[in-house]
Structure 1
Amino acid sequence: MRPIKISTFGTVKDGKEAKLYTLTNDAGMSAEFTDYGASLVRLFVPDREGRLRDVVLGYENAAGYEAGTESIGAPVGRNANRIGGASFELNGVTVSLTANQNSNNLHSGPDVYNKRFWEAAEIADDHLTFLLHSPDGDQGFPGALDMKITCTLTEKNELQFTYDAVPDADTVINMTNHSYFNLNGHDSGNILSHEVTLDADAFTLTDAYSIPTGEFMDVAGTPMDFRNGRVIGDEIDSDFEAIRLGRGYDHNWVLKNGGKFGKVAEAAAHESGIVMDVYTDLPGIQVYTSNFLDQETGKDGAVYPYRAAVCFETQYFPDAVHHENFPSSVCRAGQAYHTVTAYRFRREG
């Protein structure tokens, strides 16, 4: 590994200066993170010819992340995705959250983790650990905790995210990474030609507001079947109810990893020759084709068009706290929350 580089990344509205941390391995792959939001800013990986391409969408400086509304590159918590009715019952007590999408809560907003400064608690050549104290009542959730995210770059061209926390009261924890990937390069247009494979036989059905009904639907014979690989653009606008409701792909697939860390997804860009393998120990993955992104001003003068990227958000199922048949997102007092997700890059062929 090469020595970590630390530089300035501009200021936010209150004048506080953000830093940028760059991890680089011996193969030349690099990952850049800012302590404002603990967000992934750039990710350079080698293409078919060995040239480095930045494969994640991002902003030019901290002010861009402060103004951005699409969770680009962000760690999402305390609970990723949606909670129906913006409330739930835990231990006989009703927990009320802010309704920030219709009558529901999305990504724990509006006071989100990625609009805060995180402490760079551990800095090494191959990894960086961000720390955020989340007090009791933060975003409406019970229990205080220190959320740690360790971002590790390996010599296998793999970027790992390890999440650790121990709450002091029963609460919900469901962290994810919301990076927007375009494996042809962040400024290369849309991702409709990307081919995606998912190790999932079913997805969670939702209502018109993307809240799960509690039912699982078999993917066989539907546009949701990615088991043998499917080009994203082939049926992204098909006349299929789930597709219509999501305005494209924005759904949770039920993974078959049995709670064990393993490969669950693959994305390939045949133009660049870059392939990304996704590994996790979590039970679900939200695949989102940036259907609500359109002409977003990004870094390096880029303007990101409709469907400019695809997100692979590993997670507990959306609204898990309301469905006993879903793996539970409740973390008990004193219980260790620990989960790992990794994105491994290789060349096609």
Structure 2
Amino acid sequence: MTPSRRTILTSAVAAGVAATSGVASAADTTAAAPASHGGTGRGPRQEVFGHLPDGRDVHRWTLSRGGTLLKVLSYGGIVQTLEVRDRRGETANVSLGFASLEPYLTLSPYFGALIGRYGNRIAAGRFTLDGRTYSLPVNNGPNSLHGGNQGFDKHVWHVEPTGPASLALTRTSPDGEEGYPGTLDVRVDYSLTDDGALRIDYRATTDAPTVVNLTNHTYWNLAGEGSGTVLDHQVQLAASRFTPVDSTLIPTGDLAPVAGTPFDFRRAKPVGRDIRRSHEQLRFGQGFDHNFVLDKGITRRPEQFATVYDPSSGRTMTVSTTEPGVQFYTGNFLDGSFAGTSGSFYRQSDALCLETQHFPDSPNQPAFPSTVLRPGQTYSSSTVYGFGVRRA
């Protein structure tokens, strides 16, 4: 993003608590009918998408399976487009992005990007680990956001196909990159399942103690990219608590109940029902931009916690994760200055994000689940975005 534009604010995660029910199960929807790109086709396809100022190629990879068509860039591991069918059998791209490489290089809405080393905010761009204080770039008001000025979203990843509808993206983040200690070896796998779900698996190891919190920052509009607001999308989150923030969107350390607040999504409701209510937290975020504490807690395998439904198209999305929390963000800082893949300009609440992660600012919050990774340990996280249609 250029200095004259506001940095797009989002990301996060949360803390684990006892498991409860409250999210519609996959049985409540029917699988989307296979589109013309259903099946495995010829496997991942590669093409040149653009060139960096230093001449390096940026490639776009296309995956197709189970009625889903996915396009991923080697730059930033970006989900550029994801196409699925609606209840009428019509196909649309449901993720926000740019049609060419240049805007990804100069703007910072994080459309579809891999986020690291640390997703979300770290207060004042500082944290202490094993008695040593580390300083990070301050790129979001007084805080550090999404890994700093040159986070994982601003690097070219090495990409290799690993199956008929899967890719492995790898890179080594050197010791001291953006102020973070330790050399971090990262692998992120994108794959489409037989039923067209997008699965993202994250792995990382380090040679020195560090902090890690990886996520993906795709903006979703199930009515189709560029179609307008998502305020009528119905969202359900199995989260009984959230982490309130201060005016700079840093968690206060509290785990507040959602009951009786606009943050109660335990039963499905339209995004816009409470977004304009008089509430200090909504004022701070200019809408929803908060970490929800998932009732399921940290799990060994991805467990479903969210359902999103667009009444106009019938499209549904379920989200499952191993992570303890999610940042629910309603595109509050989209200001009409970004022209997307369809040529439409994105405005406030034209998309929503569900970024699965640990708590923001965990390195400075001892009561939050730890994001410390040490030599000999492996960071591991998985998230699955499933797609279907509701017939009525």
Q: Same-fold call, TM > 0.5?
A: yes
> Do the aligned residues in 1 keep the contact of 2:246 with 2:252 (CA within 8 Å)?
yes
Aligned: 1:11 with 2:38: no
Aligned: 1:280 with 2:321: yes
Could you tell me which residue of structure 2 aligns to residue 21 of structure 1? 61
Aligned: 1:326 with 2:368: yes
In 2: Cα distance, 1:210 partner to 1:59 partner:
27
Aligned: 1:343 with 2:385: yes
Aligned-residue identity in percent:
39
Deviation at 1:34, TM superposition (A): 0.6
Aligned: 1:264 with 2:305: yes
Could you tell me which residue of structure 1 aligns to residue 95 of structure 2? 56
Could you tell me which residue of structure 2 aligns to residue 317 of structure 1? 359
> Do the aligned residues in 2 keep the contact of 1:29 with 1:52 (CA within 8 Å)?
no
Q: Secondary structure in 2 aligned to 1:206? A: coil
Between 1:252-261 and 1:298-307, the stretch displaced more is 298-307
1:1-349 alignment, distance < 5 Å? 1-3=40-42, 4-25=44-65, 27-260=66-299, 261-295=302-336, 296-349=338-391
In 1: Cα distance, 2:119 partner to 2:95 partner:
20
1:298-326 Cα deviation digits (max 9, x unpaired): 11322112211000000000001111221
In 1: Cα distance, 2:309 partner to 2:107 partner:
27
Q: Secondary structure in 2 aligned to 1:200? A: coil
> Do the aligned residues in 1 keep the contact of 2:204 with 2:379 (CA within 8 Å)?
yes
> Do the aligned residues in 1 keep the contact of 2:68 with 2:197 (CA within 8 Å)?
no
Q: TM-score normalized by structure 1?
A: 0.97
Q: TM-score normalized by structure 2?
A: 0.87
| Gap regions ≥5 residues in structure 1 | none
| Gap regions ≥5 residues in structure 2 | 1-39
Q: Secondary structure in 2 aligned to 1:85? A: helix
Q: How many residues align?
A: 348
Deviation at 1:13, TM superposition (A): 2.4
Structure 1 counterpart of 2:283, one-letter code = R
In 1: Cα distance, 2:99 partner to 2:217 partner:
17
> Do the aligned residues in 2 keep the contact of 1:238 with 1:244 (CA within 8 Å)?
no
In 2: Cα distance, 1:259 partner to 1:205 partner:
20
Q: Give the structure with the higher percent strand.
A: 1
> Do the aligned residues in 1 keep the contact of 2:67 with 2:196 (CA within 8 Å)?
no
Of structures 1 and 2, the one scoring higher in RCO (CA 8 A, sep 6+) is 2
Deviation at 1:123, TM superposition (A): 4.1
